[in-house]
Amino acid sequence: MRQIILDTETTGLSANYGDRIIEIGCVELLNRKLSGNNKHFYLNPERDSHEDALKVHGISNEFLRDKPKFAQVADELLDYLHGAEIIIHNAPFDVGFLNKELERIGKPVFKHFVQSVTDTLMMAKELYPGKRNSLDALCDRLGVDNSGRTLHGALLDAELLADVYINLTRGQDALLIDVASATGSGPLLEHVDLSSYELPVLRANAQECAAHEEQLAQLDKASKGKTLWRNYEPMPSEAVA
């Protein structure tokens, strides 16, 4: 399975009003492992960056003057991305800019060249409704070190997003992970029969129940009343005595 984490930096926020891509960073994952086969381009956008954009990425107009134009790197970029799943944070923004650049040089839209596009912002919103889901916020929440990110940079952001994506999608089928089996050296954990043990049931006290209800109310508010448990009526057999 080949996946490419992609990020761009731009002269501003609107591709439709003439803003251009100035940097593209790509990080390759093969079977969810970093391969080291990355791509990085600085581009001459043929226009200056907006002042607010300069504060975000810090890439000066002068630095970009002698860099290649998008048309000069398009084939190399598309060959690299061909057939892969592309993973982007806030994908509509980056794909919109890429589509506009491709349109300028007479090529089909971006999705024509890749297998699919996955938006990690949408994934994060589903996992953490009502919370901040910027790249920095996700790094903090998931324990990804972003201490070197003082300014936005396409390659650095793609590298951070790769770590964030792995953490967002890391599943676990059992409470105990058989590490030795995963490495092919045989089972490490001895099976323990718990059927003879009577496990205590610890019920929540009034304060804990109130805190739980408050958390549910916040989730219900964040989802604008779309939570299902508010409509669920327990069967008599499910009621707690």
Q: What is the CATH number of the domain that holds 80?
A: 3.30.420.10
79 with 152, same domain: the answer is: yes
Give yes or no for a contact between 62 and 22, defined as CB atoms under 8 angstroms apart.
no
Q: Does 22 fall in a domain?
A: yes
93 and 160 in one domain?
yes
Q: Are 194 and 176 in contact (CB under 8 A)?
A: no
Task: Check whether residue 164 and residue 212 sit in a common domain.
Answer: no
pLDDT of residue 74: 98
- Flag whether 68 is in a domain: yes
Say if residues 60 and 12 touch (Cβ distance below 8 Å).
Answer: no
182, part of any domain:
no
Residue 56 lies in a domain: yes
**Shared-domain flag, residues 99 and 216:** no
> Which residues contact residue 108 at a Cβ distance below 8 angstroms, ignoring those fewer than 6 apart?
102
Q: Are 74 and 108 in contact (CB under 8 A)?
A: no
Are 231 and 147 within one domain?
no
CA distance 169 to 120: 10
How much is the pLDDT for 241? 44
Cα–Cα distance for residue pair 82/104, rounded to 1 Å: 20
> Residue 179 class from Cβ within 10 Å (0-12 exposed, 13-18 middle, 19+ buried)?
exposed
> What whole-number distance in Å separates Cα of residue 67 and Cα of residue 114?
26
Domains held by the chain: number: 2
Give the pLDDT of the chain (241 residues) as one tens digit per residue. 899 999 999 999 999 999 999 999 999 999 999 999 999 999 999 999 999 998 989 999 999 999 999 999 999 999 999 999 999 999 999 999 999 999 999 999 999 999 999 999 999 999 999 999 999 999 999 999 988 776 688 999 999 999 999 999 985 433 344 444 444 444 445 566 666 667 677 788 888 888 888 888 887 777 777 777 666 655 554 444 4
Residue 204's pLDDT is 84
> Does 115 map to a domain?
yes
52 and 107 in a single domain? The answer is yes
Q: Is residue 89 in a domain? A: yes
Find the domain containing 125 and state its range.
2-168
Catalytic residue among 57, 152, 191, 212: 152
* Torsion sign, CA atoms 31, 34, 39, 45: positive
Q: For residue 218, what are its two tokens?
A: 């916040």
Does 50 qualify as catalytic in the annotation? no
